Amino acid sequence: MSGPTYRGKVRDVYDNGDGTLTLVASDRISAFDVVMGEPIPDKGRVLTAMTAFWLTEVLDDLCPNHLVSMVDDGEHAGRAMVVRKAEMLPIECIVRGYLSGSAWKEYERDGTMHGAPLPAGLRQSESLPEPVFTPSTKAEVGDHDENISFGRAVELVGAEVADEARRISLEAYRRGADHAAARGILIADTKFELGFIDGRLALCDEVLTPDSCRFWPADGWSPGEVPPSLDKQPVRDFLEATGWDKSPPPPALPPDVVTATTARYRAAYERLTGRSLDARPAPPRP
Ligand SMILES: Nc1ncnc2c1ncn2[C@@H]1O[C@H](COP(=O)(O)OP(=O)(O)O)[C@@H](O)[C@H]1O
Ligand SMILES: [Mg+2]
């Protein structure tokens, strides 16, 4: 395989030239929006296997999706999937069940979330009265995504598409959050990417993974506080302790932090799916 057609923060995308793409999830990890220098072994396999689990077992009857096949052999075994190439929407389809991240910052400042009013007196990490579709723009490389109102999304993609994107996103979040809650995991918020395949809106990209969601252990959640991250907490704790100013380059992750983080990702997969990651294909050992 020659070099990727597109290299994202975490994934490498190969255009197969036949209407399909191969999406390869690397073991790269970002924290505070900066990619670390050390890979987290098994992270790419976890992201890929988790996306496949949701698409094939929980969301398959909700709407079309881009998955064609899993890559089970070769250098990318277990870390890659072949997907239909879609005409991607120019918005990111975020759903929030809890008040966190940029939504919390806006609420604290203005009392709104993506421009829409919320009840007064909510605390950080508090459960929202109901999950809300809160889109954002898709920033060009290097920029930050910008939170937008539903009305702005309608201007960008049209009312019919915005309504359908909201319906799919809310239902996919609801199913994922219900499934996770039964296993002691809260999905605070998540980002879906939708695109058109054969004229129909389809779920694309990664789905309900640690890189596209805030996963919180249910027993670590308490409104007013920032819960630990189910997956990235060892990295965050280490970085905070170093006093790093969050601009690149980041400090090197020590081996014990890497090992602890791999264990977190594996455990997240196993808890959510009830499967062992060892049952999934892996690249041949060199
Ligand atoms: N089915 C698809 N068709 C076309 N593009 C897709 C599809 N699924 C995902 N993508 C795009 O592939 C890229 C995946 O790489 P990623 O590492 O997530 O990049 P980024 O850093 O831009 O998020 C994203 O730009 C995503 O929008
Ligand atoms: Mg991405």
Q: Which tens digits make up the pLDDT trace of 130-180?
A: 999 999 999 776 677 899 999 999 999 999 999 999 999 999 999 999 999
CB-CB contact of 28 with 36 (8 Å)? yes
pLDDT band at residue 9 under the 50/70/90 scheme: confident
* Cis, peptide link before residue 249, omega less than 30° from 0: yes
Tell me if 167 CB under 6 Å of ligand 1: no
Tell me if 82 CB under 6 Å of ligand 1: no
Tell me if 193 CB under 6 Å of ligand 1: yes
Ligand 1, atom 27, lies closest to the CA of: 205
Phi/psi-derived region of residue 101, left when phi > 0, alpha when psi is between -120 and 50, beta in every other case: left
Q: Which residue has the higher pLDDT, 82 or 9?
A: 82
pLDDT band at residue 110 under the 50/70/90 scheme: very high
Model pLDDT, residue 145: 86
pTM of the model: 0.96
Best mutation site among 6, 11, 30, 201 for ligand 1 pocket (most ligand atoms within 8 Å of CB): 11
Ligand (nearest to CA of 88): 1
